[in-house]
Structure 1
Amino acid sequence: MATTEECRAALEKLSDNLGNAEGDVRSAAELDRSVSCHVTDLDVTFAGPGGRRNRTARDQRRPPREKADIRLAMTGDDLVALVDGELNFAKAWGSGRVKLEAGLRDLFRLRKLL
């Protein structure tokens, strides 16, 4: 089971990867939206602003007061596997291993990342 520190490191790696992306992926990654990722097996939520704003995620033991614009939920192992390229996001989302809640406009922009 992935630890909180491993999950935080995976999210930081993902943020760095998106920050260094080019083309359509870069434009999709620059969403100016808040993002949260609830790690279900650790019952911890990482939340932070998306896009060009501060990319540092903070963790909290209870859900954020305000819902993030884009909300993800998965196990810590799945988070680490996704970031390491060992788990396909679309397949994990389709099978229910990863849950994604976002507005329709955000989903259209995020599809470029898949």
Structure 2
Amino acid sequence: MSTNKIEEIKKENVSDGEKIKGTVKQVLTTEDEGISNIRMRYFTVEPGGHTPWHKHDWEHENYFVRGKGILVTKEEEIEVQPGMSGYVEANKMHQFKNPYDESFEFICLIPVAEE
């Protein structure tokens, strides 16, 4: 068993200026804790920021914690907000955007092997 305080977890700026903008990642669970299946990550997307437009071979689940954002796919754009969850299928193009005036924060779960 392990517990962590989010304010004590290292923040990694994953922005590159173009593909990823205004985005910070925190890895909440690690293999060092004996967690072998699921990786839990916390993302903060600043106003005007976005994650990359991408797809991957694994599904992931999200829980939206603070602020509002847009989950973008080829087919639609869905406004998400605190208290909502989201599921992105494997190999589906997607992106999270924050066109709003406050930070957008969410938890993302993926398979450990993909982190």
For the aligned pair, the TM-score class normalised by the smaller chain equals under 0.3
Larger radius of gyration: 2
More strand as a share of residues? 2
User: What TM-score does the superposition give when structure 2 sets the normalisation length?
Assistant: 0.25
